Structure 1
C-alpha cells in the first residue's frame, strides 16, 4: 500500500502575488513522490510567509505538524530543508514527531536528508543552523540599508501609504482631501470610530484591495502619521539627524507641522480622558445637561414606548438615581435640543458678525522653544568638534531635552485649540443636522458650559423655555 505523503511548499516573498514560486516547488515535489511510489495525500502551502521571523505564524506548517503527529499522513516531502525550517526550534518540533513515529519518511528535492536516522538529524540541524545564520545576515544588511535610506529621507520602498500615489512621493489629491477632512473632524471632537465607520462605507483608506474592515489603530495611524508633514520615521519613531533636527523625507506633504501636531495632540488628549473606554454618545446634551434640583449630570435615554408615527416622545433627559442623582427631573428631549441649538447658533452668528479683530494664532513661546533647540544643537556640535566631553554633554542635555519636549507638547495643545476653534467656526455655516453628534456637541460646548433642566411639575404640560437654563461660558 502506497504511503500517504504531505507536500510542504513555502516562499518568503511573492511580490507579484501569482504563487508561481510555490507552484514550481509543488511540481518538483510531486515528481519526486511519483519516483518514490508515494501517494500525495495533501499539499500544505505557505505562500509569501517567512520561516525566519519569530513573530510570524505559518498556519499550513502548523496544520502539517498536527496531521503528521495524528497519523493522518506518513511523511513529508519539501523542495529543500530550508523551506520547512529556518529556526532550529521548528526543526526540533518536526524531529520530535519523527522520534515518536519511527516509520515516518522524509525527502527533499535538492538533497537527501533522512530524519529517521541520527546522522540525518544531525545533518539537518547543521543545515538549518547555517540557513538561520544566512537569514540573520540578510536581515542585518536589510536593516542597515533601511536605516541608511531613512537617514537620507528616502521612502522605504514598500507599498505607498494611503494619501500618496504608487511612487510614494506624489500626493494623491483625492486621498489627501479625505485625510484633511477627517483631521478637521477630530479637531472638532469627532471620534475616530465615527470616522472609521464612514470610511468603511465609502471604501476609503484600505491598503489592499478586498479589505472590508478597517482597524481603529490603522485609521489612527493614517491620520497621525509623521509622514504627513514630511518627517521620516524608522521603526515607528521620528528619525533625527546629527544636530537633533527631524529628518525630512523626499516626498510631498499633506499637512504642515502645525496641523499635524494639532491632530496628534487631539488624539492623545482623548486617550488620556478615557483610556480604553468608549465615549460615544447618542444624545446632544448627554454630559452637558444637569438637573436643576441636584445639579447632577443628566443623560438621554430612549423611550421604549416610542414607535415611528406615534405621538410619544422618542427620548427623554432623565435625572437618574443610578448615576447619583435625585431622580426627580425628567423632560422630553427633542424640544430641549431644538431650543438649545437655536439659542447657541444665534449667539455664535452674532459673535461672528461682530468680530472684526483676528485671533492671534502665533504661539507665544515659539522663541523660547527655538532657543532651547538651538542650545541642544550647539552642545551636540561642540561634542563632535571635541570641545565638550561626553560626561559634560550627558549632564547638560537631559534637562534641555526635557524642556524642549514639554514646550513642544504645549505648542501642540495650543495649535490643537486654535484649529478646533477654526473648525467650530466653520461648522456654524453648515447644516447643523448633517454634522456628526460629536461636532454638534463641540459647537454647543463652545458657547455653553452646561444646561440646567428644571422640573416642570406633574401632568402633561407644554414646553416652557424658561425652565431650560443655559450656562454661558465667560
Structure 2
C-alpha cells in the first residue's frame, strides 16, 4: 500500500504576504515524495508563523498532529527539521506519534533523519536543541538591535503602521485624516466599537491585503498609538532617554502631544468607569431619562403592540419594575426625543451666541512640569558626572518622577476637556440626527444631567411638553 503523506511547510516571516517561501518548500517536498514513491495526501502550510515563540499557535501543525493521531495520514515530509519544530516540546509530541505507530514514515529534503529509529530520534533532539539555541541567540541580537534603534528614535522596520506610507516616515494623508476624524468622534462620546464597525464597513484600517476582520484592540491601538505624536516605544512602552525625557522618533506626526493625551485620557477614563461593560445603547435617552414619580432611570424599549404599517410609536420610554422602578410612567419615545433635541440645540445656540470669543487659556501647570523634567535631567547628568552619588540620585528621583507623572495625567485631562468642548457643537436637527448615537448622547449630557418624565394619565393623550422636565447642568 502506498503511504499517504503529509507535506508540512512553514516560514517565520512573510512581510510581503506572497507565500513564495512556503511554495518553494512545497515543491521540493513533493519532488522527494515522488522519488520515494509516496502519495501526498494533504499540504499543511503555516505561512508567516513562528515555531520558536511559545505563545504562538500553529494551526496547521496542530491539525497535522491530529490527523496523524487519527490515522488519516501515514507520515510527514518537511523541507528541514527546523521547519517542523524549534521547541523540544513540539518535537516530543511528534515523536510520541511515531512511538505509537511504528509504520509511520518520515523524511526531510535537507538531511536524512528518521523519527522511526532510536538513532534518528536522538539526532533529531540534538538538531532541534541547536535550532532552539540559534533562535534564542538571534532573538537576543534582534532585541538588542531594536533597543538601539529605539533609543535613536528610528523605525524598527517591518510594515508601516496604519497612518504612514511605506517606510514608516512619511504620513499617509488619507489614513491620517481617518485617524483624526475617528479621534474627534471618540472625544465627542462615540465608542471604539462603533468606529470599528464603521471602519470595517468602509474598508479602513486594514494594513494587509486580504484582511477582512478588524479587531477592537487594533482600532484602539491605532487611535492611541504613542507614535501618533512622535513618541518612540519599546515593548509597548514610551521609551525615555538618559535625562528621563520621551524619545522622539524620526517620522512625521499626526497628532500633537496634547491631542494624543486627550484621546488616551478618554479611553482610559471609560475603561476605569465601565470595566468590562458594553456601552452600546439603542435609544437616545436611555440612562438619561428618569421617572417623575420614583426618579429611577428609564430605558427605551420596542413597542411590541405596534402593527406593521401602523403610524403608532416605534418605541417608548417605560419605567420598569424589573429595573427597580415603580412602573407608573411610560411615554412614546419619538415625541420625547424630538422635544429634548430641540431644547438642547436651542440652549447650545443661545450659549454660543452669548459667549465672547476668547483665546483658549494654556494649561496653568505647564511651567511646573517643565521645571520638574529639567530637575530630573539635571540630577541624572550630575550622577553621570559623579557630582552626586547614585544613592543620592535614587533618593531624590522617585518624588520628582511621581510628580512628573501626576502633572502629565493632569495635562491629559485638561487637553481632553478643551478638545471635547470643541467637538460638542451641532447647528441643526439634521446634523444632530446624522451623528452616531453615542455622540448624540454626549451632546445631550453636555447640557442636561437628566430628563424627568412625569405621568400623563390613562388613555391616549396629545403630547404635552410640560410633562417633560429637563434638568439643566
CA change 1:17–1:468 in 2 (3 A) is: closer
1:138 aligns to 2:129 (yes or no): no
CA-atom RMSD in angstroms: 1.9
CA distance in 2, matches of 1:212, 1:25: 28
- Unaligned runs of 5+ residues in structure 1 are none
CA change 1:426–1:344 in 2 (3 A) is: closer
Query: Counterpart in 2 of 1:119?
Result: 119
Per-residue deviation, 1:318: 1.5
Query: Counterpart in 1 of 2:186?
Result: 186
Per-residue deviation, 1:18: 3.3
CA distance in 2, matches of 1:471, 1:313: 25
1:355-394 map, 5 Å: 355-358=355-358, 360-394=360-394
SS in 1 for 2:143: helix
Per-residue deviation, 1:115: 2.1
CA contact (8 A) 1:349 1:428 kept: no
1:61 aligns to 2:68 (yes or no): no
Query: Counterpart in 1 of 2:106?
Result: 106
1:65-464 map, 5 Å: 65-307=65-307, 309-358=309-358, 360-425=360-425, 431-464=431-464
Give CA-to-partner distance per residue, 1:361-384, whole Å, 9 cap, x none.
311122222222222222211211
Per-residue deviation, 1:418: 1.0
Query: Counterpart in 2 of 1:38?
Result: 38
CA distance in 2, matches of 1:48, 1:455: 64
CA contact (8 A) 1:291 1:329 kept: yes
CA contact (8 A) 1:319 1:325 kept: yes
Per-residue deviation, 1:45: 2.4
Per-residue deviation, 1:85: 1.4
CA change 1:429–1:336 in 2 (3 A) is: closer
Give CA-to-partner distance per residue, 1:155-191, whole Å, 9 cap, x none.
1211111111122111111111111111111111111
Per-residue deviation, 1:226: 0.7
CA change 1:148–1:429 in 2 (3 A) is: farther
Give CA-to-partner distance per residue, 1:228-282, whole Å, 9 cap, x none.
1111111111111111111111111111000110011011111111111111122
SS in 2 for 1:183: helix
CA contact (8 A) 1:25 1:79 kept: yes
CA change 1:372–1:430 in 2 (3 A) is: farther
Relative to the length of structure 1, the TM-score reads 0.95
CA distance in 1, matches of 2:338, 2:412: 35
CA distance in 2, matches of 1:427, 1:413: 27
Per-residue deviation, 1:430: 7.0
CA distance in 2, matches of 1:164, 1:299: 43
Per-residue deviation, 1:44: 2.4
- Unaligned runs of 5+ residues in structure 2 are none
CA distance in 2, matches of 1:466, 1:14: 66
CA change 1:180–1:27 in 2 (3 A) is: closer
CA change 1:459–1:381 in 2 (3 A) is: same
CA distance in 1, matches of 2:201, 2:34: 51
CA contact (8 A) 1:361 1:418 kept: no
Which range moves more in the overlay, 22-31 or 234-243? 22-31
CA distance in 2, matches of 1:261, 1:102: 62
SS in 1 for 2:425: helix
CA contact (8 A) 2:5 2:76 kept: yes
Per-residue deviation, 1:109: 2.2
SS in 2 for 1:110: coil
Give CA-to-partner distance per residue, 1:132-160, whole Å, 9 cap, x none.
11111111111111111111111121111
CA distance in 1, matches of 2:331, 2:426: 31
CA contact (8 A) 1:305 1:312 kept: no
CA distance in 2, matches of 1:433, 1:301: 19
How many positions carry a matched residue from both structures?
Answer: 473
CA distance in 2, matches of 1:115, 1:124: 7
Which range moves more in the overlay, 308-317 or 141-150? 308-317
CA change 1:130–1:338 in 2 (3 A) is: same
Which range moves more in the overlay, 430-439 or 235-244? 430-439
CA distance in 2, matches of 1:220, 1:389: 43
Per-residue deviation, 1:427: 6.1
CA distance in 2, matches of 1:428, 1:167: 43
